[in-house]
Amino acid sequence: MRGLEGQRLRGFSTGEKVYGYKTQPVGELKLNKKGQAKYEGMAHKINPEEADIVRRIYKEFIDGKSLRQIITGLNKDKIPTKRGYTGGWNISTVSRILKNEKYTGLWIWRKSKNVRDPLTGKKKIILRPEKEQLSTFREDLIIIDKQTWDKAQKRWQTILYSYPIRKSKKDNQIKQKSYVHSNPIHLLAGLLKCHCCGGAIVLLSGKGSGYYGCYNARRKTCNNTLMVSRKRVEQAIILELRDKILTAANLEYVYKNLEKIVSKELNEVPELMKKKESQYDKIMLEIQNYLNYIKVGNFSKAVSEALKEAESKSEGLDQEIKSLEFQKQNTFKSPPKEWINHRLENLHETLQKNTVSSALALKDLLGDVRLEPVSDKESDFYYLLKDGEKKFKPYYVAHTKIQTLALLDEQHKGSNWSQWRRGRDLNPRCSLLTTQRFSKPPP
């Protein structure tokens, strides 16, 4: 078959320039009808330097970095783009890399076509039916494994519609998401919902660590005016998470089972190593035979290509054997209980080290956290269980997948400290008294 389709069916490039790959001439050098010396075609090969950058982009994206942060890092390290643009990397370039299935080895040709609109006369791109598409799987061109690809696509679903949508693409069924949902700046950002109106609970005050409140109440469309310290909400929910789910016994159970699964898989490693070593010895013997054949003076293009193929197989087998030896020497061992307890004691500090990844993990675990305000003494369920008379202060009750818990302070019952502090800040004479009262509230 002639033309571009024939080149594609023969495994040659049809002119694509994809970051992470390079093209090399393949076949015999012949003169065409115009008398020009040309090879049979150009074939794609992996560019090792660019492939490392592609893997870096996928890793950082899966770890929770935003596209802007990935771009900033690439430009800071002065990594050139495919076409060497002076402006460096941008969002569209990185997003195309993260959505390009060619890195998994699947190359689809004739995926779309240009059609002229009969009304406007402008050209537009439309997708072709699957039966018209020509797809090939190239195992030698795999840069990203299937597991990494699936993780990246899952992250894409979480940030879908968090970027501004074009007016031409807007649909009644598509709703613009907040950027906080995909790139949270705090552990519970984007998770908190008002129990009264179902709206978002956001940071409304910047005092101290900040105070959460109902955004609709600020817009006068909800009656929930109660505010609560961000630090208190995070501490209460993480403490409950540590006591109910991330206990030392549960984590020890998970680690022990993981160790059993890994050891079971590693039982097959010795047999696999023997098999690979046997194949490697055969390939090396084949290479030696080729070399002896060439030494006698019998050299041809077929022998050269067979020798190259044998050397390529030997390199692949050598890497596989080294990988199996590394797995055998570095088997997974369950950590001691003391190490687990130490990590759990500093759980809050550990989560704060990588806020974005931790917040996205909490989002999958907890789902939406609905804050229900307790504003009067009659509906104070937790107050009725207490002995003695205490002055009632409004507080929130958080509803999660784990459990319903009250966001109460041990010494002073109530959540709405922001109102007291704002009132005190207006009077300079009470500045010292305000600080003492805020840090150590009266019984």
Q: Is the pLDDT of residue 167 over 60?
A: no
Of residues 160 and 284, more confidence is placed in 284
Of residues 141 and 244, more confidence is placed in 141
Task: Give tens-digit pLDDT for 207-217.
Answer: 667 888 998 98
Q: Is the pLDDT of residue 33 over 90?
A: no
Mean pLDDT on 346-363:
72
Scanning 296-354, the segments in alpha helix (DSSP H) are: 301-329, 337-345, 347-353
Tell me how far apart the alpha carbons of residues 399 and 369 are, in angstroms, rounded to a whole number: 6
Give the pLDDT band (50/70/90) at residue 428: very low
In the structure encoding, which two tokens stand for residue 368, read together?
């939406």
- Residue 51 confidence (pLDDT): 92
Residue with tokens 């790959």: 21
In the structure encoding, which two tokens stand for residue 85, read together?
């643009």
- Residue 55 confidence (pLDDT): 94
Q: Output b/e per residue, 215-240; b: 16+ Cβ within 10 A.
A: bbbeeeebebebbbbbebbbebbbeb
Lowest-pLDDT range of 74-88, 354-368, 414-428 = 414-428
Q: Is the pLDDT of residue 268 over 80?
A: no
Tell me how far apart the alpha carbons of residues 50 and 102 are, in angstroms, rounded to a whole number: 14
Of residues 103 and 10, more confidence is placed in 103
Strands (E), 216-317: 228-229
Q: Left, alpha or beta for 376 (phi > 0: left; psi -120 to 50: alpha)?
A: beta
Lowest-pLDDT range of 85-99, 119-133, 208-222, 334-348 = 334-348
Q: Is the pLDDT of residue 439 over 50?
A: no
Tell me how far apart the alpha carbons of residues 23 and 39 are, in angstroms, rounded to a whole number: 12
Tell me how far apart the alpha carbons of residues 347 and 219 are, in angstroms, rounded to a whole number: 36
- Residue 440 confidence (pLDDT): 31
Task: Give tens-digit pLDDT for 277-334.
Answer: 888 888 888 888 888 878 777 777 788 888 888 888 888 888 888 887 877 777 777 8
Arithmetic mean of pLDDT over the chain: 77
- Residue 162 confidence (pLDDT): 63
Give the pLDDT band (50/70/90) at residue 423: very low
- Residue 413 confidence (pLDDT): 45
Of residues 408 and 265, more confidence is placed in 265
Tell me how far apart the alpha carbons of residues 207 and 432 are, in angstroms, rounded to a whole number: 16
**Residues 6+ positions from 133 with CB-CB distance below 8 Å:** 108, 109, 110, 111
C-alpha to C-alpha distances, 278 to 239, 282, 318, 354, nearest whole angstrom: 55, 6, 11, 46
Residue 57's nearest CA partner among 23, 28, 91 is: 91
Q: Is the pLDDT of residue 149 over 90?
A: yes
Share of the chain above pLDDT 70, in %: 80
- Residue 272 confidence (pLDDT): 81
Mean pLDDT on 189-209:
85
Mean pLDDT on 93-103:
91
CB 418 within 8 A of CB 205: yes
Mean pLDDT on 100-124:
85
Mean pLDDT on 334-347:
78
In the chain, where are the structural domains located? 190-244+345-439, 251-329
